[in-house]
Amino acid sequence: MSATETVRAPVFDRQGEPTDDVRVEKAMQAFVKDFGLVAALNMEACVHCGMCAEACHFFEATGEPRYTPIWKIEPFKKAYKREYGPFAPVYRMFNLKSKVNARELENWQELLFDSCSLCGRCSLICPMGIDIEGLIQQARHGMAAAGLVPQEIRAAAERQSEAGMFPAAQLARLAAERGVAIPVDRERAAVLCTLSQSELDDYPDSVVAMAKVMNHLGADWTYRSDGYESSNYGMLAGDLALQKEASLKLIQAAIACGAQSLVLPECGHGYSALRWMGADLFGKPLPFHVLHISEFLAAEVQGGRLTLNKIGKSATFHDPCQVSRLGGAIEAPRVVLDALGVELREMFPTKGTNWCCGGGGGVQDIGRAQPLRHKVFHMKMKQIDETEAELPVTSCTGCRRTFEEGSAHFKWGKSMNSLLELVADNLGEAA
Ligand code: SF4
Ligand code: SF4
C-alpha cells in the first residue's frame, strides 16, 4: 500500500507562496534536523505489530487504517530512510524510497494535525517503546517549516506572538465584579500564576477560582504582565521558534519576581510545554517548580493547609492526556476529589490509559475536523455514561471546550465541571 493510495481528497491549508520544491526542501531540512539518535532508534524499531492502531481513538472511532498512529509519520520515516538512515545511500541509489513530494506533505496535514490530539496513548502501548506521539510532534516541525499547518493553529500561534498585550482591564473588571483581589505585577512573589487569554474570555470563573483559592490560602502570589499566557500554540503548530518565545516569557517572568513556583491553570498542553520542554528550551534547569493547578491543590490538601467542604455526590474524573498520561499527575486530582468528599467512579479505561476527549493537540481549533472530533467524542460520552456518576470533572479548559461542543452536538445534557472551580466553590475554614 503506497502513501498515495491511502489518501483522499486533499484537505489542507498553506502559508506563503513558495514553490513545491521549496516547501519540500524546507520540510526535509527540518525533518533531518530532528533525526537525532532517539528518533532514529524509534523509527528503526517498529515491528509492524499494529497494536498502536487500537490505542488511537481516531482509529477506534472510525476503523480507518489511515488513522493508524505509525502511518501518520510515514513521510517522516520515508525522509529518514532516504536522507539519513544507515542505508540512505542505497535507498537513494536504487530509489527504494521515493523522495517525499509536496502532494504527500499536503495530504499528510490531516493525519498530523486533524487526526492526532498528541494524546500519547500510542506511545504508551507500543511494545517496542516507540514514542510515536513524540515523532508526530517532530514531524509537525517539518510541516511548519514547509508552511503546511492548519490555518487556525498557525493564526493562533502568530496571534500569541504578536499580541503580547496583558489583559489588565479585563482582569480588573473581573476582580471588581466578583469582589476578588487579583494582584498583578508584584515585584516579588513566591508563586507566579498564569492564565490563558481564551480561558479568560470563555471561562472567567476559572480565573476567579484561581484568585479565590490563592487568596484563601494567603499565598504570596501574582500575575505578571511580562509573562502570563499559559497556552503555547507555537508548540501545537510545530514552530519551535514561537514555542520557545512563549516559554521564555513565562520563565523570565518567574525569575524576575523570584518565584519559587509557577502555577499553570487548567491548561493541558501548556503544562507539557513548560513542565517537560521548558528547561530544554531555556538551556538549563528551571530555578523554580512548575506545577499544574491540580498538583498545587493536592500539595495544599496533603500539607493540611487546604480543607474543603464535602460535596456528597458521585463524580468521575476525565484525565487530560497532557497532564495525566504524559505529565504523570494522575493522583493529584484524585487527592483533591477525595478532599471534596465525592464518591469517585472511575471510567474504564482510566488514569494513564484514559481515552482522550478528541480535542487536544490543537484538534479542537480546526474547524474542518469537527465531524471527526464528534466521532471520537461519542466514545468519551459512552465511557462517562457507563459510570452513572453525577458530576463529570476535569482539569483542562481545552477538554471542557471539546466536551461543550460534543455535548451540544449530541444533545447529551451533561456538562464538564472544572476541578479548580469545584474547589473554589467549596473552600473550608482557612487554616
Ligand atoms: S505498536 Fe509500535 S511496533 Fe507495533 S506497529 Fe505501532 S509503532 Fe510499530
Ligand atoms: S498521539 Fe494519540 S491521537 Fe496521536 S496517533 Fe497517538 S494515539 Fe492517536
CA 361 to CA 188: how far, in whole Å?
34
Q: Which ligand is nearest to the CA of 325?
A: 2
In the structure grid, which three cell numbers stand for residue 80, read together? Answer: 529518514
How much is the pLDDT for 6?
A: 43
Q: Which residues contact 380 (CB under 8 A, 6 or more apart)?
A: 318, 355, 356, 357, 358, 403, 406
Task: Give the residue carrying C-alpha cell 486533524.
Answer: 114
Answer positive or negative: Cα dihedral of 348, 353, 355, 356.
positive
pLDDT over 80 at 9, yes or no: no
**Is the full-model pTM beyond 0.75?**
yes
Cα(364) to ligand 2 centroid in Å equals 14
Handedness of CA 358, 359, 360, 366 (dihedral sign): positive
| Residue 372 near ligand 2, beta carbon < 6 Å | no
Confidence label for 92 from pLDDT (cuts 50, 70 and 90): confident
Cell 498538583 belongs to 295
| Over residues 385-411, mean pLDDT | 98
Residue nearest to atom 4 of ligand 2 (CA): 116
132 Cα: distance to centroid of ligand 1 (angstroms): 8
> Looking at the predicted structure, is the pLDDT value of residue 4 above 70?
no
Which sign does the torsion angle of CA 240, 241, 245, 248 carry?
Answer: positive
Distance 54 CA to ligand 1 centre (A): 11
Mean pLDDT of 199-206: 96
Residue with CA closest to ligand 1 atom 8: 46
pLDDT in tens, 313-324: 999 999 999 999
CA–CA gap between residue 337 and residue 345 (Å, rounded): 11
**Which numbered ligand comes closest to the C-alpha of 121?**
2
Residues whose beta carbon lies within 6 Å of some atom of ligand 1: 46-52, 70, 126, 128, 130, 132
Is the shortest distance between the CB of 116 and ligand 2 below 6 Å?
yes
pLDDT at 429: 84
Name which residue leads in pLDDT, 430 or 106: 106
71 Cα to the center of ligand 1, angstroms = 10
The pLDDT of residue 33 is 83
| Residue identifier of the C-alpha nearest atom 6 of ligand 2 | 122
Q: What is the C-alpha to C-alpha distance for residues 394 and 320, in angstroms, rounded to an integer?
A: 7
pLDDT for 304 beyond 80: yes
Q: Cell numbers 456518576 correspond to what residue? A: 389
- pLDDT category at 164 given cuts 50, 70, 90 is low
- Compute the average pLDDT of residues 133-150: 95
356: confidence class by pLDDT, cuts 50, 70, 90: very high
* Sign, Cα dihedral of 28, 30, 31, 37: positive
Q: Where does the pLDDT of residue 75 fall: very low under 50, low under 70, confident under 90, or very high at 90 and above? A: confident
**Residue 56 CA, ligand 2 centroid: distance in Å:** 5
The larger pLDDT score, comparing residue 4 to residue 150, is at 150
List domains and CATH numbers for the chain: 3-149 (1.10.1060), 164-299 (3.40.50), 306-425 (3.40.50)
223: confidence class by pLDDT, cuts 50, 70, 90:
very high
Question: When comparing pLDDT for 397 and 98, which is higher?
Answer: 397
Residue 163: what pLDDT? 65
- Look at residue 3 and tell me whether its pLDDT is greater than 50: no
Percent of the chain whose pLDDT exceeds 70:
97
Residue 215 CA to residue 424 CA, distance in Å, equals 10
Query: Sign of torsion, CA 122 124 128 132?
Result: positive
Question: 1: which DSSP letter?
Answer: -
pLDDT, mean of residues 344-371? 97
Residue 86: what pLDDT? 78
pLDDT for the residue 11: 83
Provide the pLDDT for residue 19.
95
Q: What is the pLDDT of residue 85?
A: 78
Give me the mean pLDDT over the 323-352 stretch: 97
Say which residue the cell 534536523 belongs to. Answer: 33
Q: Is the pLDDT of residue 301 over 80?
A: yes
pLDDT computed for residue 372 by the predictor: 96
- Render pLDDT for 265-278 as a digit per residue (tens, 0 to 9): 999 999 999 999 99
CA 382 / ligand 1 centre spacing (Å): 27
- The predicted model gives 2-31 an average pLDDT of 78
Average pLDDT over residues 55-65: 97
pLDDT bracket for residue 7 (50, 70, 90): very low
Q: What is the mean pLDDT of the chain?
A: 93
